[in-house]
Amino acid sequence: MLAAARTAFAERGYDGASIRAIATAAGVDPALVHHYFGTKDRLFLAAVQAPADPDEFLPEVLAVPPDQRGAAVVGMVLRVWDGPTRPAVLALVRSAVNHEWSARLLREFVLSRIVRRVVGSVDVPVEEREARGALVASQVVGLVMARYVFRMEPLASAPPPWVVAAIGPTVQRYLTGDVELPHPR
């Protein structure tokens, strides 16, 4: 079931994959998928081997005022990465860097479970959300790579409040500020 789910999510994305199609590909009844995983969200987390569930940390981010959301996003990233899940998250990122299939799964996880929810929580035109989300993701991915993978100093050893103060305003600008955006497709 997990192999079928990984293939479906990688090929069709979270929104395009269905429990029924995954069950069919796995040769099982959809009820069996529901029995073992409960919901599509839980199946997705298991398929990408996500070491952290965004539903555990995103409500805190979404509860802060929209004009402080950039700092909240950076703070959340640091808490997740500096916590006990760091080895598992690092393994997932390294796998994504080396394998296109893993990259597609991780990209879909980050976009569907985190970025779209954050960007959708601020008051920006719907047609700008995809571009703003990509910009937010670029900043967060850059932070993760520089701080945790490449271990670039002084960022690698900087205290979290410094990182939030330095990078939070850029994420905020991408979320709600003036940004030259490409025309929607």
Cβ(16)–Cβ(47) below 8 Å? no
Taking alpha carbons only, the member of 51, 47, 68 closest to residue 118 is: 68
User: What confidence tier does 51 reach under pLDDT thresholds 50, 70, 90?
Assistant: low
Q: Which range among 64-78, 87-101, 137-151, 155-169 shows the weakest confidence by mean pLDDT?
A: 87-101
What's the whole-number mean pLDDT along residues 12-16? 75
**Cis? peptide before 154, omega within 30° of 0:** yes
Residue 75 pLDDT > 90, yes or no? yes
What's the whole-number mean pLDDT along residues 160-184? 93
Exposure string over 54-82, b if 16+ CB within 10 A, otherwise e: beebbeebeeeeeeebbbbbbbbbbebbe
Residue 138 pLDDT > 90, yes or no? yes
Q: Which residue has the tokens 């929810």?
A: 117
Cβ(170)–Cβ(70) below 8 Å? yes
What's the whole-number mean pLDDT along residues 77-94? 81
The per-residue pLDDT for 184 is 59
High-pLDDT (> 70) share of the chain, %: 95
Cβ(149)–Cβ(90) below 8 Å? yes
What are the φ/ψ torsions at residue 124 (nearest 5 degrees)?
A: -130, 155
What's the whole-number mean pLDDT along residues 73-87? 88
Give this prediction's pTM: 0.76
User: What confidence tier does 19 reach under pLDDT thresholds 50, 70, 90?
Assistant: very high
User: What confidence tier does 144 reach under pLDDT thresholds 50, 70, 90?
Assistant: very high
Query: Which domains are assigned to the chain?
Result: 2-47 (1.10.10.60), 54-176 (1.10.357.10)
Average pLDDT, the chain: 88
* Angle, alpha carbons 107-111-115 (nearest 5°): 135
Angstrom CA distances, 87 to 52, 81, 84, 149, stand at 12, 9, 8, 11
What's the whole-number mean pLDDT along residues 69-83? 93
Residue 128 pLDDT > 80, yes or no? yes
How far is the C-alpha of 15 from the C-alpha of 65, rounded, in Å?
Answer: 28
Residue 140 pLDDT > 70, yes or no? yes
